[in-house]
Structure 1
Amino acid sequence: MGDFDTAKPLRKIAEAFKELEATINSQSQEVEVAPFSHACSLVSPLFGCLGIAFKFAEVDYVAKVLDIAEASKSIGTLQSLLEKDIEGNSVRKSGSHSRNLLRVKRGLVMVKVLFELILLTEGNSLKGPASKAYEQVFAPHHGWAIRKAVAAGMYALPTKAQLLNNLNEDESSASIQMQSYVDASAPVIMYVEKLFLTRGLGIDW
């Protein structure tokens, strides 16, 4: 039985992001790399649950989150993570922590938009929400080949019922947790974007 309680990925995600949101709203406003990377790692299985269409996103996202988790061993806050790359003139270098942070942030936005659309969409198909979320968040940064592969993969998406089943949720509990993530992730996403924008680094690369 005990195992069953722990197998609630949506709840874990919502709780972790609520904690990050609380940090951002607190006096310190300093988000530490370790809890941030942990919260992001909880999102990873979601991409896996969406099947082949989001395989590239899962592989890419998981690798970038691992890099940030690794960085947390020597870097305290997200702010100092960026500062270090700025000093080393490596912000935009492939594989830099800053670049990876921006990619991870994009994954968080993708899930936020997907959840918002699932909450608004009647019926059992995820094709509409998943296609729209992909178009909005990832497509502008992807080449033709990846976009084509994703479009083909959209036909193999699970149904909404299958997704909820994989996540051990029913419709009403899932709606609560999805809304909770949508609400809590918004300020976290904004915080990360602000780190880049206030330093004149932009977020569209």
Structure 2
Amino acid sequence: MEEDKPLQKMAEAFKELSNGLNQFPEGEEACLEVAAFSKACSLLSPLIRCLGGVFLFAEIDYVAKVNDLVEASKSISVLPLMIDDDVRSDRVHKAGSHTRNLLRVNRTLHLIKVFFEQIMSSEGNSLKDPASKAYSQVFSSYHGWAVRKDVTASVYDALPTKAEMLNKLNEDDTSSRIHMQSIISSAAQVSEHIDQLFISRGLGTDW
């Protein structure tokens, strides 16, 4: 039986999304399918789960928000239409809205991107610095003191080593670097595209 390769699946899914964005003519708003985006994001769950520690705070919340986008995909075709529908209904900022959930999911995608960037630029077997820097850069400003304290403590208590993480993902150092670099590149393009959807509609991304 072929080993499950969650990191490889992530790389392939986000590369496909990135390729889809590149097919739209310059000046035309790209339209990512809600179904394809939510499916790709669901592939992050095994990684978040195996990391534990600093990422556990996001797992349950992240999965719920991705599941909401999966449900939305049954009646809404593309992300711009989903956001515009919430804008028209004046529910963008309401808890549980598809648009609010999209913003949170995209923030976690950015967290993973920064985490991989930190791993690629660091040496050794510890994930503590990459995880701490990724959390600090992406999520820290949105959390209160108590949450920040708990996350900081969990970095030292529960985070696996890099070798342990790669073993759980059925990867070695060489293959993981290839997949991580691919995810960094494609996830950056997807994340920036979603940010631009918010900015172009005057919604901003800092909420």
Q: Does TM-score exceed 0.5, indicating one fold? A: yes
Match of 1:138 in 2: 139
The alpha-carbon deviation at position 186 of structure 1 amounts to 1.1
Match of 1:67 in 2: 68
The alpha-carbon deviation at position 72 of structure 1 amounts to 0.3
User: Any gaps of 5 or more consecutive residues in structure 1?
Assistant: none
Match of 1:197 in 2: 199
Aligned 8 A contact 2:14 2:40 in 1:
yes
Partner Cα distance (1:145, 1:47) in 2: 21
Give 1:73-84 correspondences, 5 Å limit: 73-84=74-85
Give 1:9-48 correspondences, 5 Å limit: 9-27=6-24, 29-48=30-49
The alpha-carbon deviation at position 53 of structure 1 amounts to 2.5
The alpha-carbon deviation at position 52 of structure 1 amounts to 3.0
User: Any gaps of 5 or more consecutive residues in structure 2?
Assistant: none
Partner Cα distance (2:22, 2:165) in 1: 32
Match of 1:171 in 2: 173
**More helix by percentage:** 1
Listed one character per residue, the Cα deviations across residues 74-100 of structure 1 (whole Å, up to 9, x for unaligned) are 111000000000000000001100000
The alpha-carbon deviation at position 146 of structure 1 amounts to 1.3
Match of 2:101 in 1: 100
Partner Cα distance (1:70, 1:144) in 2: 34
Match of 1:161 in 2: 163
For 2:142, give the aligned amino acid: H
Partner Cα distance (2:57, 2:196) in 1: 27
The alpha-carbon deviation at position 148 of structure 1 amounts to 1.1
Aligned 8 A contact 2:54 2:131 in 1:
no
Identical pairs, percent: 57
Partner Cα distance (1:21, 1:52) in 2: 30
Partner Cα distance (1:76, 1:109) in 2: 23
For 1:51, give the aligned amino acid: G
How many residues are matched?
A: 202
Listed one character per residue, the Cα deviations across residues 155-184 of structure 1 (whole Å, up to 9, x for unaligned) are 121000000001000000000000000011
CA RMSD of aligned residues (A): 0.9
For 1:25, give the aligned amino acid: N
TM-score, normalised by the number of residues in structure 2: 0.95
Q: SS of the residue aligned with 2:43?
A: helix
Match of 1:8 in 2: 5
Partner Cα distance (2:174, 2:119) in 1: 12
Partner Cα distance (1:60, 1:27) in 2: 32
Aligned 8 A contact 2:6 2:43 in 1:
yes
Listed one character per residue, the Cα deviations across residues 61-82 of structure 1 (whole Å, up to 9, x for unaligned) are 1111000011000111000000
Q: SS of the residue aligned with 1:65?
A: helix
The alpha-carbon deviation at position 153 of structure 1 amounts to 0.5
